[in-house]
Structure 1
Amino acid sequence: MDIIMAPKLFQPTQVGSVLLKHRVVLAPLTRFRASKAHIPHVRIVKEYYEQRAHAPGTLLITEATYIAERAGGYDNIPGIWNEHQIEAWKEITDAIHAKGSYIFCQLWALGRCIRSESPGLSSESVAPRPLTVEEIQEYVELYAQAARNAVSAGFDGVEIHGANGYLLDQFTRGYNIENRVRFPLEVVDAVVEAIGPERVGYRSMKMIDPKPTFGYLASQLKARQPKLAYLHVVEPRMIGLYDRKDEDISVQEENDFIRNVWSPKLLISAGGYDRQSAIDTAENKGDLIAFGRHFIANPDLVYRLENNVALNAYNRKTFYLPGEVSSTGYTDYPFAEEDYRAKSLL
């Protein structure tokens, strides 16, 4: 009798020091469910992540989390720089591990994207200024300390946020290619030294001069840190809030050049995936697939994808509710089993 293998998307894979049971990943998703002191609202945040750890052996990546007070600028974003924050996160990571799943903390610094009304800034427009060499080195250490704090909080690893125009990504333009990636590479080296390479991933999003810059970044990450847990890239089918069709994406925009450089190391790919495109990409390219909006609306997304169960529709209006502690749009999406039970009672 022929044995039918499950699609690669639903097969186990090793990520750094953890063994996952499948390749479906919760993408980092800002949800603004923290206090003004940047402490996550434990009750509701723990439930949110617990729900998405529904399938044992799932990798969850947290919302972007400030590495230090000076790295922030928005209210209601969690942090990982003081004991109160560490203690709150520890309750959450313990709950994820009790489900048999794993969680990485995404480390974040805003850079020039900071709001002008943030503490210490005037209400008038504030022109960005270059960081001094001393300030850059201070940030390198802040990332390393945040990684140590994350491990103390029970996280299985950290993902360094080097995308979307935030601090590290702001250095990947201008000058020569070596200097464009120097700051991100120094941060990665420091974080690896602090907690070990198997606990470290890096998220990148190619923007300006993509192939020379981001091909070089990937090659240097691979050469300097061959045991890095993963590289996480955003596919060009996502532009801001909108999806693009594959046929509208040019060869110059695709991420295959990064895959070629990074191969055979582990790549996480995010951006506009549905069930079939996720299965195809995992099968043909070996990627792990990170889901955002669909994982928001479907806490049991792994089950639904594996069993080809229809997905809940997401409500974009409830994605960002700063400081909110209610379940609306956060923990109130139904599980497939609950939906079936409800319908059977009609």
Structure 2
Amino acid sequence: MTVGLEKTNLFKPITVGKNTINQRIAFAPTTRFRATDDHTPSDLMLQHYSDRAQTPGTLLISEATFISPRSGLYPNIPGIWNDKHVQGWKKITDAVHAKGSYMACQLWFLGRVGSPGLLKKHGLDLVSASPLYDSEDSKKAAEAADNPIRALTEEEIHSIIYEDYKNAAINAMNAGFDYVEIHSAHGYMLDQFLQPVSNQRTDNYGGSIEKRARMVLEIVDLLSETIGAEKVAIRLSPWTKFQGMKGDEDSVHPITTFSYVVNELQKRANNGKQLAYLSVVEPRITGGRDIVGLIGDLDISDVVGSNDFVKSLWKGAILQTGNYTYDYPEFSLLKSDVNGDDRTMIGFSRFFTSNPDLVERLKEGHELTPYVRHLFYANHNNGYNTFSNYGKELHYDSEAEEKKRPLSLV
């Protein structure tokens, strides 16, 4: 056992929207492919989220969730576009609320990194801000599926904003979520519009920073009006080089683009439209990969970029995520960031997967159970619900758990 983090700001309450969260540890969005084939939440997901809500007052953010069929597709990812999805998610949010915790639904649109084959199967096009692939492999896959990428029309953009995102947000509220989190990070659709490497449009949604940010801000404004700004959050990753993004290598420096976005969000807050929180991904991580390796070998000199500019512009609650366990059990950077002000939360994903009682382990200084990376994106129960609380021994048969497939909650 090491010294716990109970005396840090990590275990002080914080106001997020209209709710008081008991501690500043969040279960960050963690894609795990455990939904059913029709994208309905499953029994495996119900147990997974319920177990991680066990410490009252914990904030859980759902895995990235498709807002409509055209927003994907990947297999066994949950959706939030129809009544069946709503009913399934409602069972999960009810279980989370029964533990005294809170939950946000992360709204996802893949854009150019969707599956061209699966989209083709459903009669849908592979779309993005501009007809630019994120890699040569993506181009080959699209051509093989006879579903080449194309740019969205302005009419389609309006439809996605005012139909898909609005419907998903309303459905999320009907499903019992406390918040929605707009996924605008990691090279997915909204990031594709924000960044010049993937947006070469010359209309109202491309060119200047103001026009590249138009789609994101229109969604923020619409959802703030539809469900209330205090229930809306957004995730950004200024420095990511994931899925064809360039980070600091682009012709337009990320600080220039993202300072504009964050400043616009703060302007809205100043005018009474304060978002629940702003989520930012630290430059130590890009997508699901660490920039500098795993626990114990972080060299800060290898990390390019800093999100300090975000905190200088944004005055509300902020959720920071990205390899805060690199120096476990010292947690030096975590302590510095969470104690540096009175509005920072810290998100964990991989170690929340393997430690359902992560909140208590961090509080008490208990040893963390290692995660099993190669089982993250499986479609069975092994490596998903096969981890126990500290001091508890879970007996199970790996082969049997690998036969447990997701069953619809509806």
TM-score by length of 2: 0.77
Note the residue ranges of structure 2 that are not aligned, 5 or more in a row: 1-5, 126-142, 197-206, 239-246, 293-297, 395-410
Structure 2 match to 1:164: 186
Segment of structure 1 superposing worse, 6-15 or 233-242 = 233-242
- Equivalent residue for 2:324? 273
Are 2:105 and 2:172, in contact at CA under 8 Å, matched by a contact in 1? yes
Shift of 1:124: 3.3
For 1:68 and 1:44, the matched residues in 2 are separated by 22
Per the alignment, residue 82 of structure 2 pairs with 82
Aligned equivalents of 1:259 and 1:249: distance in 2? 22
Question: In the aligned structure 1, how far is the partner of 2:109 from the partner of 2:218?
Answer: 15
- Give the C-alpha shift of residue 107 in structure 1: 0.3
1:330 and 2:384 equivalent? Answer: yes
Q: Give the match for residue 407 of structure 2.
A: none
Match of 1:177 among 199, 209, 224: 209
* Cα distance between partner residues in 2 of 1:298 and 1:281: 22
Q: Secondary structure at the match of 1:106?
A: strand
Corresponding position of 1:127: 148
Deviations 1:221-270 (A, max 9, x none): 111244101110000111342242252245x61100111111x2111000
CA contact (8 A) 2:11 2:23 kept: yes
Matched residue, 1:300: 357
SS in structure 2 at match of 1:161:
strand
- Structure 2 match to 1:202: 234
**Counterpart in the other structure of 1:343:** none
Residue identity matched to 2:176? G
Task: Quote the residue 2:308 is aligned against.
Answer: 256
Query: Secondary structure of the equivalent of 2:392?
Result: helix
Task: Work out the percentage of aligned pairs sharing the same amino acid.
Answer: 42
TM-score normalised per structure 1: 0.91
1: CA distance between counterparts of 2:145 and 2:361? 49
Aligned partners of 2:146, 2:263: CA distance in 1, in Å? 38
C-alpha distance in structure 2 between counterparts of 1:140 and 1:249, whole Å: 38
Q: Deviations over 1:179-215 (max 9, x none)?
A: 1111100011111111001100000011342100001
Among 279, 284, 292, the alignment partner of 2:340 is: 284
Aligned ranges 1:100-139 → 2 under 5 Å: 100-118=100-118, 119=121, 120=123, 123-124=144-145, 126-139=147-160
**CA deviation after TM superposition for structure 1 residue 126, in Å:** 3.7
Distance 1:125 1:215, change over 3 A: farther
Give the Cα–Cα distance (whole angstroms) in 1 for the partners of residues 300 and 63 of structure 2.
Answer: 31
1:8 corresponds in structure 2 to 9
- Which digits, 9 at most, give the CA deviation of each residue in 1:46-93, with x for residues without a partner? 110011111100000000000011111111110001111100000110
Match 1:152 to one of 174, 180, 183: 174
Report the equivalent of 2:30.
29
Query: Is 1:247 paired with 2:295?
Result: no
CA offset at residue 6 of structure 1?
Answer: 2.4
**2:117–2:147 CA contact under 8 A, matched in 1:** no
Aligned to 1:97: 97
* 2:376 paired residue number: 319
Q: Distance in 1 between matches of 2:369 and 2:313?
A: 37
Q: Aligned equivalents of 2:11 and 2:117: distance in 1?
A: 46
Name the structure 1 match of 2:261. Answer: 217
Q: CA deviation at 1:278?
A: 2.0
**What amino acid sits opposite 1:162 in the alignment?**
S
Shift of residue 168 of structure 1?
0.6
Whole-Å separation in 1 of the counterparts to 2:106 and 2:148:
27
CA contact (8 A) 1:7 1:279 kept: yes
Q: Measure, in 2, the Cα distance between the counterparts of 1:159 and 1:176.
A: 25
Deviation (angstroms), 1:339: 4.7
Query: What CA distance in whole angstroms lies between the structure 2 residues aligned with 1:215 and 1:317?
Result: 36
- For 1:180 and 1:239, the matched residues in 2 are separated by 22
Any unmatched runs of 5+ in structure 1?
Answer: 341-346
Deviation at 1:280, TM superposition (A): 2.3
